[in-house]
Amino acid sequence: MIKKQQFLEALKVIKSSHNFLLHLHPGPDADSVGSALALFHYLDSINKSVTLISGDSPFPYNLSFIPGSEKITKANISDINLNDFDCFIVADSGDISQISKNTTVVFPKNQNVIVFDHHTSNKGYGKINLIDYDSPATCQIIYQFFEANKIKINSEIAACLIAGIYTDSGGFKYDHTSPETFLIASKLTKLYPNFSNLIFEIENNDSPSNLKMIGQLLKDIDVTNHLAIASVSNKDLKKLKLDNDVSVNGQIANMLKSVVGWDIGISLTEVEYHKVFASFRTRDSQKYDLGTIAKETGFGGGHRAAAGASFPYSITKTKNLIRQVIAKLYPEVL
């Protein structure tokens, strides 16, 4: 729970700052984009100078339907001078290393760093930390920030927040979805009645290449008792001329864990030679903490029910490492 006082303090800091930096985390999802754009619209409306950078990854086409996405500057942390900004608002990044994988972020001493987040890995690396591990989405925390400060939410901001809350809660079905989430969604959808179109555009974004990739990943499923790992090597990606789009990883891991008996589903894509992106999902997040599994490998992190990692290894070596960690933490799985 974040105290009302903390939200009020954050606004005070925002009011006293002039040049704002916002960013998207690597592999941005609708919670990252929705959070950053909701804040962008608000800061813009109170006449602050605000720059929102795209960060490490190319901007996903389906998220371009979130209002304001054309305002995002194509740049990474290393392309800008952090000293140009007296306030950096970091949203939906569980650790300072999650801001960018390509560069080490060092905040200038006098910078006001405000962190909005819901990842359990987040220890609070900002000057002001608005972190709620029980929130289904960072966008929900940003809604609470606006509400606590009696800031008017317009239809654009509402659309941004709906995008994040809906997708990060898995369409209101993941663990942390609460009566409050529905209440907030109810208020937001009144402000943005066209929400079903927005959700349609975000969700129905498959490309032929995506489907081929899904087919390829499902071809190679390695099952050890209650653990299922799907994978595709870089060699096969190249041979089959598939995009190294890792967004299907989460989808595949979800499909794996839908199988009764496959308690943990993991999808691996070797995007470059010895660079493997991994998504973790589970049938039972009460029992298994995927964030801890991913963290224990030394190359990832995340939530109990959904986590991710990026390994500097081959598929085989990655699988072995993951199995070792699971064998240590949850021997009953293997």
- Provide, rounded to whole angstroms, the least separation between the CB of residue 326 and Mn ion: 24
Q: d(Cα 234, Cα 238) in Å, to the nearest integer?
A: 6
The answer to whether 270 contacts Mn ion (rule: CB under 5 A) is no
What is the nearest approach in angstroms of Mn ion to the Cβ of residue 66?
14
How crowded is residue 239: how many other Cβ atoms within 10 Å of its Cβ? 9
Nearer to Mn ion, 92 or 296 (CB): 92
CA–CA distance, 28 with 58 (Å, rounded to integer): 9
Of 40-48, 138-146, 216-224, 280-288, which part binds Mn ion (CB under 5 A)?
A: 138-146
Q: From the CB of 318, what's the least distance to Mn ion, in Å?
A: 24
Which residue matches tokens 């973790």? 280
The residue among 92 and 289 lying less far from Mn ion, judged by its C-beta, is 92
Residues 6+ apart with CB under 8 A from 210: 243, 245, 247, 248
Report, in Å, the least distance between residue 136 CB and Mn ion.
8
Closest Cα partner for 229 from 239, 242, 220, 237?
220
Measured from the CB of residue 24, what is the shortest distance to Mn ion in angstroms?
A: 12
Q: Which is nearer to Mn ion, 67 or 308 (CB)?
A: 308
Q: Cα dihedral sign for 166, 171, 175, 177?
A: positive
| Span 41-100, contacts to Mn ion by CB under 5 A | 92
CB of 170 to Mn ion, least distance (A): 11
* Number of C-beta neighbours around residue 307 at 10 A: 28
Residue the block writes with tokens 């060699």: 235
117 binds Mn ion (CB under 5 A): no
Report how many residues bind Mn ion under the rule CB under 5 A: 4
31 belongs to the binding site for Mn ion (CB under 5 A): yes
Comparing CB distances to Mn ion, the nearer of 98 and 297 is 98
Which of 156, 168, 263, 289 binds Mn ion (CB under 5 A)? It is: 168
Find the DSSP H helices in the chain. 4-16, 30-45, 138-148, 155-168, 179-191, 195-203, 208-219, 234-239, 247-257, 290-296, 315-329
Residue number of the CB atom closest to Mn ion: 31
In the bound state with Mn ion, the residue whose beta carbon lies nearer, of 120 and 138, is: 138
Binding site for Mn ion (CB under 5 A): 31, 92, 138, 168
